[in-house]
Structure 1
């Protein structure tokens, strides 16, 4: 291969941003760890990742702000202004060395990474510590419920998972026991430190998976819940979200899952905006009623009186 050809290939490779299958080169190939499952508009997976990066980074900066620069990282001047010229030169060299060192510092590691799913309408964004995907998603959907603004165009349902594992019974039970026990123990207790019995429901969703059956999985998942808590299909306090995609299983525990439209941001925004429109319409109707008969009716009555 000629030198020109090698250089051309190198430049093309350097400019390449996506693999042949459409996945970005900065994404992970394996789905692992805590993160967020996202359903989106078909054919808009790439745009979904981009818009969620912006939303998640903005929220993460508020919830987990980056550590401020310590005083030791700041350039420090000399305390003695009366040092001789040699000491002044040394001080300048130290400052230059610090500036060069700061320029060579590695870039801050990203807190989110897109993982390859190779499936239309499905995206998984992994979250790195200290980001808690459950807190992240709940904060976002609550903001949407309060404002009616999604800040996204293609994202639909967001399902946070506190951890992931291989989709087999042994691994799922181990992961579920850890996550559920921790989540249930964090709930407020009754007076006198009496354990509060909670009502819960298992929300299981399976995609591209035919090894395990729903009935078998739900039965095994229920065994992981601490004794004494009650299953409630109508009005649960906690929801155990279980997301199985191909050979990966993710689990989390959340509240208000039904109240917040199963974390579908499009439906949450539509419900909020429709509610506001109805409220505005009722206010307008009330104002019309308080204003009394319309001008047209009043005029007609006046004309009738004149004719008499």
Structure 2
């Protein structure tokens, strides 16, 4: 028996980003960051990624977190006042009714205590929110405006390249996502042509590009068909062409998870220089380079000291002969 197509329309936020209702364990849509990590260490990966990203947000977007929290607090206060007003109206209407029995009063008091406890333990509003994917090794972090997922990822990786320190012991790879949509060809073409491509491919010059594809738990879109669709959706009148080598200027990154497709445009040169955003490989390479430079420096100093000693001995010998 064939399955009837769903009649439910895709849901979108006010900013146009797609909201997943796939039952994947959490909302894995909108701007954000894919994080792959070591199996069995996902909880540590999430904690470390939170810590690193929050520090970067304070560095790149100072005051943005606090401003967002104030806005959310004001919204919650308004909601509570609205609910309080409705409760007062209900109580006024029931003034002439008989008093509630003891059991109802106790239940009401317990509900009030539970609400108060929930309010005390509620996590501070955050521009960075982790959502469960229910898939081993794969984590998703929603990044709310003004955070740019690609910019913050590049900043982090360049810091790792310069310092050799990541703070991410169990994270394997980072993949930013600027947009997302339902994983259908129609929705994908609409998204890339209206939002993803214009800032790069409508600048009046030819761009070398290639498509980077990754899919998890999605059997509805054929890989070759999707890659060909993304390539042919690039404007055809400006001389853009596919370059499968490491010389591609722009990488169209597409990642499928169940019924959600997420996209970003990555700078090709930095993608290669930063070892395809592989955190442990990048960290290891920097440390090896630093170790080699240190060894060369120490070797040079030893050679200089040995040369100075030889020169001193020759000068002393010449002085003795001349006496």
Q: TM-score, normalised by structure 1?
A: 0.68
Work out the CA distance in 1 between the residues paired with 2:306 and 2:139.
56
- CA shift in 2, pair 1:182/1:65, >3 Å: farther
2:193 and 2:234 in contact (8 A); partners too: yes
SS in 2 for 1:258: helix
Contact 2:178 2:262 in 1 (8 A): yes
Pick closer, same or farther for the CA change 1:218–1:45 going to 2, 3 Å.
Answer: same
- TM normalised by structure 2 equals 0.65
Cα pair distance change 1:138/1:179, threshold 3 Å:
farther
Match of 2:159 among 137, 143, 151: 143
Maintained 8 Å contact 2:201/2:234: no
Cα drift, residue 180 of structure 1: 3.3
Note closer, same or farther for the CA distance 1:294–1:41 as it changes in structure 2 (3 Å cut).
farther
* Aligned twin of 1:245: 257
Q: How does 1:101-250 map to 2 (within 5 A)?
A: 109-184=125-200, 195-227=204-236, 228-234=239-245, 235-250=247-262
Q: Provide the secondary structure at the position in 2 that maps to 1:262.
A: helix
Alignment match of 2:280 (pick from 260, 266, 287): 266
Conserved? CA contact 1:209–1:245, under 8 Å:
yes
Q: Secondary structure at the match of 1:151?
A: coil
- Please list the CA deviations of residues 16-69 of structure 1 after superposition, one character each: whole Å capped at 9, or x if unmatched: xxxxxxxxxxxx722111110110011111111111111111111122222688
Aligned to 1:284: 298
Displacement of 1:153: 1.4
Q: Any idea what SS the aligned residue of 2:272 has?
A: coil
Aligned CA RMSD, in angstroms, stands at: 2.8
Q: Distance in 2 between matches of 1:133 and 1:149?
A: 20
Q: Which runs of 5+ in 1 are unaligned?
A: 1-27, 70-105, 190-194, 300-308
Indicate the SS of the match to 2:187. Answer: helix
Aligned ranges 1:6-85 → 2 under 5 Å: 29-66=26-63
Q: Is the 8 A contact 1:179 1:253 kept in 2?
A: no
User: CA distance change for structure 1 residues 179 and 252 in 2, over 3 Å: closer, same or farther?
Assistant: farther
Corresponding pairs, count? 230
Q: Deviations over 1:184-206 (max 9, x none)?
A: 058xx6xxxxx222111111111
1:224-269 Cα deviation digits (max 9, x unpaired): 2122212111111111111111221110001111211111111111
Give yes or no for contact 1:134–1:254 (8 Å, CA) kept in 2: yes
CA drift at 1:182: 3.3
Q: Which runs of 5+ in 2 are unaligned?
A: 1-24, 68-121, 314-323
Deviation at 1:114, TM superposition (A): 1.2
**Alpha carbons 1:162, 1:179 under 8 Å: kept:** no
